[in-house]
Amino acid sequence: MAYLMSKRGNMFLKKKAQALVEMGVLGSVVLLALGTMCIFIAKLNSDQFILMESFRRALKKSHDENKAIGYGMWNDRRMVDINQPIIGNKNAHSGAGFAMWAVNSVVANGETGEDPEGELYVSINSPPAMMFFNEYQVEGGSGSIAPEYFTFTAETLGVSTSGHSTSSGRAGGVGEFMIYEIGDSMKVAQGRGYGGGRGLGASN
């Protein structure tokens, strides 16, 4: 009788352990899927924001300068990455807008029916609140952008012991140097750096 009870107990423990393992695997898959979906939604939101922001800037410049304005934006943004949670992953977002908000009566030679003058601008990594920051006027040609990246990354894992407790932490950083060729008229260089860290927990 005792043998049967022991055998049944072992079978129950095995089934319980198997269920825990299956739940752990399923939980990891669900978290991975949710993380991937959140990253996709964030990228889609950034793409839409850049598209609308480029049109808003074109509309403002067209109103202020009384000209037909083409405005392109390029933004290299570092976003969260489930594979590299400290340094993230770089994603490029771009958009362009065109607006003609010109009053014919105040345009030069407006009475002859001539079209208003046109201008082309390109903004690269410009914050939304700083419209004229990293903004370039393209003289002739196209406003196409050809980027070239030089990226340097570093990550460290540190472990410290104090008495009977042990703690660990992870830190990382990335430095970037970018060269953007705008059409055939100019090249601009930019650089920036990121860094961060987090504790991984402690044990006694």
Which tops the pLDDT comparison, 109 or 64? 64
Q: What does the domain layout of the chain look like in residue ranges?
A: 2-142
Q: What is the pLDDT of residues 170-181, one digit of tens each?
A: 787 888 888 888
121, 133 Cβ separation under 8 angstroms: no
Would you state the pLDDT for residue 47? 86
Which tops the pLDDT comparison, 175 or 113? 175
Q: What is the pLDDT of residues 114-127, one digit of tens each?
A: 667 788 899 988 87
Would you state the pLDDT for residue 2? 47
pTM over 0.75: no
Mean pLDDT of the chain: 77
Closest CA to 125 of 50, 52, 185, 199: 50
Enter the tokens of residue 25: 């695997």
Mean pLDDT of 123-138: 81
Which tops the pLDDT comparison, 11 or 73? 73
Rounded CA-CA distance 122/136 in Å is 5
Q: Is the pLDDT of residue 153 over 60?
A: yes
Which tops the pLDDT comparison, 32 or 125? 125
Would you state the pLDDT for residue 4? 47
Q: Is the pLDDT of residue 64 over 80?
A: yes
Which of 110-119 are b and which e, b meaning 16 or more Cβ less than 10 Å from the residue's Cβ?
eeeeeebeeb
Strand 118-124 versus strand 135-138 pairing type:
antiparallel
- Identify which of 1-10, 25-34, 67-76, 154-163 has the greatest average pLDDT: 67-76
Give the confidence band of 17 by pLDDT, cuts at 50, 70, 90: low
Would you state the pLDDT for residue 38? 78
Q: Is the pLDDT of residue 112 over 70?
A: no
Would you state the pLDDT for residue 13? 61
